[in-house]
Structure 1
Amino acid sequence: MHWYLDVLKKYAVFNGRARRQEYWMFTLFSVIISIVLAIVDGVAGTSPILGGIYTVAVLLPTLGVTVRRLHDTDRSGWWILIGIVPLVGFIVMLVFLAGEGKRHDNSYGPDPKLVPATY
């Protein structure tokens, strides 16, 4: 759960690097919360109000962790725009985000696996 909260603490931080685990754990918790909110919206009979509010609330943290994840693979954050391309963009982004980060310091910062974590 600390992975999710750490990303929220870095609400709009677009510099630095994010490990695969940080990105994917945030994504997992975000999907679980979205599913729960969709169920609550369905049971309450409301249109997706809660889900929409949640989506807007985590938009900047999601963009931030995605850009930091791209930085870990030594790519510019502007690569996030490849997602605009239908189908191919999604596949390319999935490959970039699932790939291992560079094991050395790069222009975006030190290797996050070598930086001690603070919990």
Structure 2
Amino acid sequence: MNWYLEVLKKYAVFSGRARRKEYWMFVLFNIIFAVVLSIVDYALGTAPVIYSVYMLLVLLPALGVTIRRLHDTDRSGWFIFIGAIPLVGFIILLVFLAGEGKPEENKHGANPKFVAAA
């Protein structure tokens, strides 16, 4: 849960790097909250109002952590648009996001794994 809150604290931060754990824990909690809110939405008969508001609220943090994750793999944040290529784009983006971050410092900053350990 702390990883999710850390991403929300960096609401619209697109610079720097994000570890795999930070990214995937945010994705996990985001999916859990989205499913729960959609169930609540249907139970209240307001579908898809609550779910849509939540998704709009986490749009910038989700973009930010995705771009920071791409920075960790030493790629530009513009690689996020590779996901727009039909069929293979999403797979390529998924491979980039799941890959190991560069252990050395890159143009986007120091390795967050070693910064967190220090």
Q: Which TM-score bucket, shorter chain as reference?
A: over 0.9
In 2, Cα distance between the equivalents of 1:86 and 1:50?
Answer: 29
Spell out the pairing of 1:93-108 with structure 2 (5 A cutoff).
93-108=93-108
CA-based RMSD of the aligned residues comes to 1.2
Letter in 2 for 1:17: R
In 2, Cα distance between the equivalents of 1:11 and 1:97?
Answer: 19
Aligned residue for 2:58?
58
Aligned residue for 2:69?
69
CA deviation vs aligned residue, 1:26-51 (integer Å, no higher than 9, x gap): 00000000000010011111221011
Moved >2 Å (runs of 4+) = none
Letter in 1 for 2:111: D
Unaligned runs of 5+ in 1: none
Aligned residue for 2:5?
5
How many correspondences in the alignment?
A: 118
Aligned residue for 1:24?
24
Helix, strand or coil at the partner of 2:112: coil
Helix, strand or coil at the partner of 1:107: coil
Letter in 2 for 1:54: Y
Letter in 2 for 1:20: R
The structure in which a higher percent of residues are helix is 2
TM-score by length of 1: 0.96
Distance 1:13 1:117, change over 3 A: farther
Helix, strand or coil at the partner of 1:115: helix
